[in-house]
Structure 1
Amino acid sequence: MPTATYAGRQVTVNDEGFFEHPQDWTEAMAPEIAASAGIDHLGEDHWRVIKFMRTQYEQTGSGPTVRLLGKSSGVSVKELYALFPKGPAKLAAKIAGIPKPRGCI
Structure 2
Amino acid sequence: MNLPDRDGDGYLTDMSAWTEDVGRAMAQADNYELDDVKWAHVLKARAYYDEFGSVPPIRKFAKYIEEDQNAVFKLWMTGPMKPITKYGGLPKPTGCV
TM-score after normalising by structure 2:
0.80
Aligned residue for 2:90, secondary structure, equals coil
Q: Who is 1:75 aligned against?
A: 67
What are structure 1's unaligned runs of at least 5 residues?
Answer: 1-7
Q: Who is 2:3 aligned against?
A: 10
Q: Residue 104 of structure 1: CA displacement?
A: 4.9
Aligned residue for 1:14, secondary structure, equals coil
Q: Who is 2:24 aligned against?
A: 31
Instruction: Choose the corresponding residue for 1:60, options 52, 72, 86.
Output: 52
Q: Residue 81 of structure 1: CA displacement?
A: 1.3
How many residues align? The count is 97
Q: CA RMSD in A?
A: 2.1
What are structure 2's unaligned runs of at least 5 residues?
Answer: none
Identify which of structures 1 and 2 has the higher relative contact order when contacts are C-alpha pairs closer than 8 Å and 6+ apart.
2
1:77-96 to 2 correspondence within 5 Å? 77-96=69-88
Letter in 1 for 2:38: H
Confirm or deny: 8 A CA contact 1:93 1:101 kept in the other structure.
yes
Confirm or deny: 8 A CA contact 1:53 1:92 kept in the other structure.
yes
- Return structure 1 stretches of 4+ with deviation > 3 angstroms: 35-39
Query: Any idea what the Cα deviations from partners look like across 1:73-97, whole Å, max 9, x if unmatched?
Result: 1332122112322210111101111
Mapped partners of 1:33, 1:78: distance in 2: 26
TM-score after normalising by structure 1:
0.75
Cα 1:16–1:41, aligned 2, differ >3 Å: closer, same or farther?
closer
Mapped partners of 1:40, 1:12: distance in 2: 21
Task: Please identify which structure carries the higher strand content.
Answer: 1
